[in-house]
Structure 1
Amino acid sequence: MAELMSREGNKVEFKASVPAAEVSRAYQQVWAGLSRDVRVPGFRPGKAPKKVLEQRVGADYVENEVRDRLLQVHYPQAARELKLSLVDAEINPATLKDGQSFDFSVKGETYPEVKLGDWKAAQLSSAAPQITDDVLSRTLSDLQDRNATFESVERPAEGNDMIMIEETGEEGGSYPIYLDVAEPHVQAALSGKSKGDEVSITVPAHQHGDHEHPEHTVEVKVLDVRHKQRQELGDEFAKSLNFESLDRLQTDLKTELTRRAQQEGEAARREEFIEQLVAGMDTTIPKALLKRRRDAMMEEIQSDLSRQGVKWGEYESFMQEQGKLDEFMADLDKNAETRVRRDLALEQLAEDMQVNVSDQEFNQTMMALAQANELTAQQLRTQLGPDGLNSYYASIVREKALTQALAQLAPKPEAASPEAAETQTSEAQPEAAQTESASDERAEAAQSESGEQAQDEETKSE
């Protein structure tokens, strides 16, 4: 049970009490876990007495585990009971003892007052791209390209040939160049060349990742010229992709394209609605809220860098040397404010619509998330902590409000123009159609990295 003690502006203070029965249950759960997990010499698993276990792990450990378990559940529940959306909070627990109720008080800051515009009048233009016969035809043609083979020819390179080249020098290596998707300077240098020719490729000044590269020359030798052989579009081609016939391939492919197009349309519609919601919002965002979000984003960046074996200090020094640190920090501030505004708008939307998430819904979502991460529900709660659980609950409420609001708006417009569906052709292919040989994988890589291949290999030592 929770009770609001004071509220002045965005500052709040409340207290909550956990019944003695739930405290005892939490103690029992912690002892059961220790009995199962802690091995004590001379006792079979699960048979060691409490006093022996306590001597092994320490009384403070047990008390901390029980306290954390209780706060993970009852702090978010108390905030929801009092309808408080907290930016930050200081939790002050009272004495904890088995068989007695457990009290804790909270001092925190709520989100600022937010006023939304008339979102019910929003006019959304986003829609799913239209999957026409022309889109389907282009996708099938792309499939033919992705599954083509290459045969050596005794003639100069032309058209959509693939050329095997070898860089000269100590750091040189061999790799394929696909003329039809290569950069213009690579096409110009290699078109018309034959096996055995030595070629100088002038690479213009460019930026690759975080590195600036001046204009330079790459010396290569043509090892082989190979002509692309596309299989004729028919039943045999479909069977090579594990479909019983071309008709079945076309049917499944259109179904998949349509599904992806609908997903794209829904995502675009949601984004358009959120942008309009934020644009019509009136609020003053506390600096503390922006700082908290900015700090959280910085922690994410540092964590990502760490997983790649890069220390933040080293990356920061590198950006400083490149003169890009100020731009990086400015972008971080801008992105933090954008995220905060979106969250505030969606949270106010949920409040205006009186959207709630029951404990049962929340627990089911937590269970699904825990299973997806191969954790128990309790392990996930421990990882998130009280504040993390509160934030996760808020995200579920925001998502539910967004879904309900979109359902209340005017019907979705008709499908968008077929040109919008062109972006689907390289991604929305049935899974069975994506089984490829080694040569297919090279072709796929060429589509995404085409013109950079000669440059990448040339700059390996930089």
Structure 2
Amino acid sequence: MAELVSQNGNKVEFKVTVPAAEVSRAYQQVWTAISRDVRVPGFRPGKAPRSVLAKRVGMGYVDSEVRDRLLEVHYPQAARELKLNLVDASIDPGALKDGQAFDFGVTGETYPQVKLGDWKGVSLSAQAPEITDEVLEQTLTDLRERNATFESVERPIEASDMVTIQELAEGSEEQSGSYPVYLDMAEAHVRDALVGKNKGDEVEITVPAHQHGDHEHPAHTVKVRVEDVKHKQLQALDDEFAKSLNFESLDRLRSDLKTELETRAGREGDTARREEFVTALTEGMEVEIPQALLGNRREAMLEEIQADLSRQGVKWSEYESFMQEQGKLDEFMADLAKNAETRVRRDLALEQLAEDQGLQLTDTQFNAALSALAQSNNMTVQQLRTQLGPNGLNGYYASIVREQALSQAISQLGQPETAEQKDAPAEETETAPTETAE
């Protein structure tokens, strides 16, 4: 049971009481898990008395596990019950004892008031790309290119060849490295230097000055030897080619490929419409965003970046120092702040949209979503709840509602007119229903 203690502006305080029966149930679940996982000499798995298990793990551990379970369930549940969208919160748990009710207090800040514009009047123009015969033929051509074979030839290099070159160390005949170059995808200076040369020729390739990442490379010359020249051989566009791709015929390949292209185009159109709608929604809303909310999002995004760098073996402190030396740290932080504000504005708009539509998830629906997410990550629901924590669970709930609100709003706006409908004369559009009725 949740009770609102006070609310002043976006500052809020509430109290939650968990019934004694639910506290006892949580203790039972924790004891069951401990009995299953903790091995005690002299007892079969699951048969050791609680008094023995308590000495092995400590009652402090048991109470901590129960407290976490109760907070993971009842904190987000209380926030939903009181219809509070919390930016962040501090939880003050009370005393915990098996068989007695458990109280905890929450103080936090709610999201700001948001006023949306007349989103029902938004007209969306984004459409799915049209899959024309030209698009289909180009896709088939790309398939032939990706499945091309190469045969060695004894002739001068042509612009569509694949050439194997051996890099020569500067100032000597010593070989450095060997690698293939596909000339139809190579940069112009490489292609121009090699076309017309023959196998065995030594060639100097002048590489122009260029920027790579944060480093500027001056112009320089690379000396290579042509080791092999291979001609690209495209397969004929026929049934045999289709069969090589596991299709029974060329007609079946064309049909299935067109269906797949239209499916992808439909997804692209849906994504474009969603982004067009969200842009209109955020541009038309009125809101004063607390700096704390922007700061939280900025910190979360920075932590994501730091984690990505860590996975690549790069320390954030080193990367930060490098950007500082390059004079780009201020620009990086400014971009981070701008992106954080964009994301916050988007989330606030969609959450208000959900509220305006009266959208909520039942506990059953939310638990089903958690179960699906846990399964996709090879985790139990309890493991997922523990990993997300109370604030993470609240955030996941909000993300589901935002997506539902967006989908529902888009469906209410209907489909955009096709190019043919837009170009059709007005009198034809008006007379068509009459002709059909007759």
Q: What TM-score bracket applies, with the shorter chain setting the length?
A: over 0.9
Q: Secondary structure at the match of 1:181?
A: coil
Q: Is the aligned partner of 1:160 residue 2:164?
A: no
2:428 alignment counterpart: none
The Cα of 1:171 is off from its aligned counterpart by 8.3
Q: Is the 8 A contact 1:156 1:191 kept in 2?
A: yes
1:382 alignment counterpart: 386
Give matches, 1:199-218, under 5 Å: 199-218=203-222
Q: Secondary structure at the match of 2:296?
A: helix
1:149-194 CA deviation, whole Å, 9 max, x = no partner?
0111111111311111111127831111111111111111111111
Seq. identity, %: 72
2:399 alignment counterpart: 395
Q: Which one-letter code corresponds to 1:217 in the other structure?
A: T
Structure 1 unaligned segments of length 5 or more: list them.
Answer: 417-462
Q: Is the 8 A contact 1:201 1:217 kept in 2?
A: yes
With the length of structure 1 as denominator, give the TM-score of the two structures. Answer: 0.88
Give matches, 1:239-318, under 5 Å: 239-318=243-322
1:118 alignment counterpart: 118
Give matches, 1:14-33, under 5 Å: 14-33=14-33
1:435 alignment counterpart: none
Give matches, 1:407-426, under 5 Å: 407-414=411-418
1:393-416 CA deviation, whole Å, 9 max, x = no partner?
111111111111111113233379
Give matches, 1:355-366, under 5 Å: 355-366=359-370
The Cα of 1:3 is off from its aligned counterpart by 1.1
Q: Taking structure 1 as reference, are residues 299 and 415 closer, same or farther at Cα in structure 2, changes over 3 Å only?
A: farther
- How many angstroms apart in 1 are the aligned matches of 2:66 and 2:38? 17
Q: Aligned-pair RMSD on alpha carbons?
A: 1.2
Q: Is the 8 A contact 2:159 2:191 kept in 1?
A: no
More divergent stretch after superposition (211-220 vs 383-392) = 211-220
Q: Is the 8 A contact 1:161 1:226 kept in 2?
A: yes
Q: Is the aligned partner of 1:236 residue 2:240?
A: yes
- How many angstroms apart in 1 are the aligned matches of 2:102 and 2:190? 72
1:102-139 CA deviation, whole Å, 9 max, x = no partner?
11111000011111111101111111111111111000
Q: Which one-letter code corresponds to 2:246 in the other structure?
A: N
1:91 alignment counterpart: 91
Q: Is the 8 A contact 1:36 1:46 kept in 2?
A: yes
Q: Is the 8 A contact 1:162 1:178 kept in 2?
A: yes
- How many angstroms apart in 1 are the aligned matches of 2:31 and 2:217? 62
RCO greater where, 1 or 2, for CA within 8 Å and sep 6 or more? 1
Q: Is the 8 A contact 1:127 1:415 kept in 2?
A: no
Q: Which one-letter code corresponds to 1:151 in the other structure?
A: E
- Matching residue within 356, 372, 375 for 2:376: 372
- How many angstroms apart in 1 are the aligned matches of 2:266 and 2:79? 37
Q: Which one-letter code corresponds to 1:365 in the other structure?
A: A
Q: Is the aligned partner of 1:75 residue 2:75?
A: yes
Q: Is the 8 A contact 1:198 1:219 kept in 2?
A: yes
1:349 alignment counterpart: 353
- How many angstroms apart in 1 are the aligned matches of 2:153 and 2:64? 74
1:63-89 CA deviation, whole Å, 9 max, x = no partner?
010000000000000000011000010
Structure 2 unaligned segments of length 5 or more: list them.
Answer: 421-438
Q: Which one-letter code corresponds to 1:66 in the other structure?
A: V
- How many angstroms apart in 1 are the aligned matches of 2:301 and 2:209? 33
1:308-344 CA deviation, whole Å, 9 max, x = no partner?
1111111111111222111111111111111111011
2:48 alignment counterpart: 48
Q: Secondary structure at the match of 1:366?
A: helix
With the length of structure 2 as denominator, give the TM-score of the two structures. Answer: 0.93
Q: Which one-letter code corresponds to 2:382 in the other structure?
A: Q
The Cα of 1:281 is off from its aligned counterpart by 1.1
- How many angstroms apart in 1 are the aligned matches of 2:298 and 2:21? 41
Q: Is the 8 A contact 1:126 1:413 kept in 2?
A: no
Q: Secondary structure at the match of 1:173?
A: strand
- How many angstroms apart in 2 are the aligned matches of 1:88 and 1:324? 31
1:432 alignment counterpart: none
Task: Please tell me whether Structure 1 or Structure 2 has the larger radius of gyration of its CA atoms.
Answer: 2
The Cα of 1:207 is off from its aligned counterpart by 2.1
Q: Secondary structure at the match of 2:277?
A: helix
Q: Which one-letter code corresponds to 1:396 in the other structure?
A: I
Q: Is the 8 A contact 2:166 2:175 kept in 1?
A: no
- How many angstroms apart in 2 are the aligned matches of 1:317 and 1:360? 49
More divergent stretch after superposition (95-104 vs 208-217) = 208-217
- Matching residue within 185, 198, 202 for 2:189: 185
May I ask how many residue pairs the two structures share in their alignment? 416
